[in-house]
Amino acid sequence: MKKFPVPPFPSQKQPVPGSQRRMEPYPDCGEQSYTGSGRLKGKIALITGGDSGIGRAVAIAFAREGADVAIAYLDEHEDAKETARWVEEAGRQCLLLPGDIAGKDHCTQLVAKTVDTYGRIDVLVNNAAFQMTHSELADIPDEEWVRTFDINITAMFRICQAAVPHMAAGSSIINTSSVNSDSPKPTLLAYATTKGAIANFTAGLAQLLGSKGIRVNSVAPGPIWTPLIVATMTEDDITHFGAETPLGRPGQPVEVAPIYVLLASDESSYTSGSRYGVTGGKPIL
């Protein structure tokens, strides 16, 4: 069994949104380990937040399973180019789509550009997220609260609304929720609130799209070692990140990717409206 890094981690802090290239230890997105078996052969996937972390791991796994991908990201161009390199090394195409999904127009453009390039969307992964840490309610700026909702849940609604007309029966939508939807961390109040909204949005959308044959599920990761952590949490939280889980460590992005592959594949043809925890042992009930 492969051994993954265990805290304490070196003290480190980055500006938002964070860069994977500067993290220590370097996150494992499956670059050297994920092996595909053709489970997504011929599919087209759009992945938001695909430049690094969970999004990169999903992009690599999807490509090695046979999918062409489009990757939406903010402005982390070097990280995005690295993800594209791994996708292309797998023999698949990768479309890079930089920009801020907090804006409605950009959400619709992501879908339009993906469809213009590939002709359709078979798998939509809404993974991009924003968070900030605050110890007091009064410290949360109004504009930051609104931006958290715009990125984490409103963009998800807008992208789904734009994408569904280009998705055929058998397609899959996968939304990234969080263990915070079950056990909200008080210092991540805005983020945790949006993650609860994502869980409900997913469950409702699955029922709404069932007659179209489009499946909708969510994944609820626990503490996963990604750039979002070193860009938005306190240095003490970073040093001990994931230590409180039953497994005693954070998950690596590569450990989350397989559930996205399963939910994207035709093997999950009767799976919709569900939430899947990847939490290092912390229960989601």
- From the candidates 191, 260, 270, 276, give the one annotated as an active-site residue: 191
Is residue 55 within 8 A of residue 84, CB to CB? The reply is no
Residues counted in the chain:
285
Enter the DSSP assignment of 196.
Answer: H
Residue 71, SS3 per DSSP: strand
Question: 191 catalytic, yes or no?
Answer: yes
First to last CA, the chain: 28
Number of H helices, E strands in the chain: 9, 7
Q: Which residues contact 88 (CB under 8 A, 6 or more apart)?
A: 94
Is residue 172 within 8 A of residue 264, CB to CB? The reply is yes
* C-alpha 50: how far from chain center: 7
- Residue 96: which H helix or E strand, with range? strand 94-98
* Residues assigned a catalytic role: 191
